[in-house]
Amino acid sequence: MNSSSISYRSICPVSSSLDIFGDKWTLLVVRDILIFRKSTFKEFASSIEHIATNILSNRLSKLTELNIITKEKSKHNRKVNIYKITPKGLQLLPILLEITLWFYNNENPEDNNREIWNILQTYQKDKDAFIERFIEQYPKDLVAK
């Protein structure tokens, strides 16, 4: 499912992006890889959103086919797949941050997580520097080559 095998509903970039990310789960899998540094099916399945295993399998396959993540066998247990973000997938970080920022600015979340709010304030001060620093500090063994 590379970009040439996807059937887009229109030529509008927003609509076409939603064909990729417009479901309830795809960006949460990307979030789990980027933010929570999850890398195995079992780790994704344990997310607080309780994604069904068949849907998780589908989203991992979709993201792999789109070259947003990669899948490889664990060096320690050949039965376990390890998922890694690709450089293409890393480009989704600003989208996740902007969605989170929008939510905190507009929906007044009940938990009002100070740690997340502090991160978002740092992000707002210099978005480019924040993203550059995040990518520089992201563990290299979690990024696909």
pLDDT digits (tens, 9 = 90+) for 28-82: 999 999 999 999 999 999 999 999 999 999 999 999 999 999 999 999 999 999 9
Residue 4 domain-assigned (yes or no): no
Look up tokens 């990024």; give the residue.
Answer: 143
In a domain, 6, yes or no: no
Contacts 24+ apart (CB under 8 A), 45-49: 49/25
| Domain range for 40 | 13-142
DSSP alpha helices (H): ranges in 66-126? 87-90, 93-106, 114-125
| Domain total of the chain | 1
Q: Quick check: 53 and 73 in contact, CB under 8 A?
A: no
107 in a structural domain: yes
User: Which 3 state secondary structure label does DSSP give 58?
Assistant: helix
pLDDT digits (tens, 9 = 90+) for 71-129: 999 999 999 999 999 999 999 999 999 999 998 888 876 766 778 888 999 999 999 99
- Report yes or no on 2 lying in a domain: no
> Taking a C-beta distance cutoff of 8 angstroms, is the pair 47, 28 a contact?
yes
Q: Could you read off the pLDDT of 4-17 as tens digits, one per residue?
A: 567 888 889 999 89
CB burial string 5-42: b at 16+ within 10 A, e below: eeeeeeeeeeeeeeebbeeebbbbbbbbbbeeebbebe
pTM for the structure as a whole: 0.88
The answer to the question of residue 5 being in a domain is: no
- CATH of residue 75's domain is 1.10.10.10
Whether residue 35 is contained in a domain is answered as yes
- 3 lies in a domain? no
